[in-house]
Amino acid sequence: MREIEETLAHNLREVREKKGYTLKDVVKGTGYTEVSISRWETGTRIPKATVLYNLAKFYGVSVDRFFWK
C-alpha cells in the first residue's frame, strides 16, 4: 500500500474512534455498509471522493482531515 492510502485508512479509523463511533454507528448515520467502512479503514479499498465528503460531513470534519500526516 502506498503512503497516501495508508494515511487515509489510518485517519478514517482515527477520526471515527476519536468521535466515539462504532462501525454500526457510522452505518446508521451514513447508510454505507459495515464491510465497506471496514475496507476503507484497513486500506483494502479506497473510497470515492463523494464518500469522503459524506463521511467528513457525518464526522463534522473537513475532507482534508483524512489526509493529514
Maximum separation of any 2 CA atoms in the chain, in Å: 30
The secondary element (H helix, E strand) that includes residue 59 is helix 49-59
Please say if the pLDDT value at position 69 is more than 90. no
Q: Is residue 32 domain-resident?
A: yes
How confident is residue 15, by pLDDT bands cut at 50, 70 and 90? very high
List pLDDT tens digits, range 38-60.
999 999 999 999 999 999 999 99
Q: Could you tell me if residue 68 is inside a domain?
A: no
CA distance 9 to 37: 10
35 pLDDT above the threshold of 80: yes
Judge whether residue 1 has pLDDT over 80. Answer: no
What mean pLDDT is predicted for residues 6-28? 98
Report the CATH number at residue 20: 1.10.260.40
Enclosing domain of residue 36: 3-61
Mean pLDDT along residues 8-13: 98
Asked whether residue 66 is domain-assigned, the answer is no
What are the two backbone dihedrals, phi and then psi, of residue 32, each rounded to the nearest 5 degrees?
-75, 155
Number of domains present in the structure of the chain: 1
Domain-located, residue 30: yes
The phi, psi pair for 31, rounded to 5°, reads 85, -5
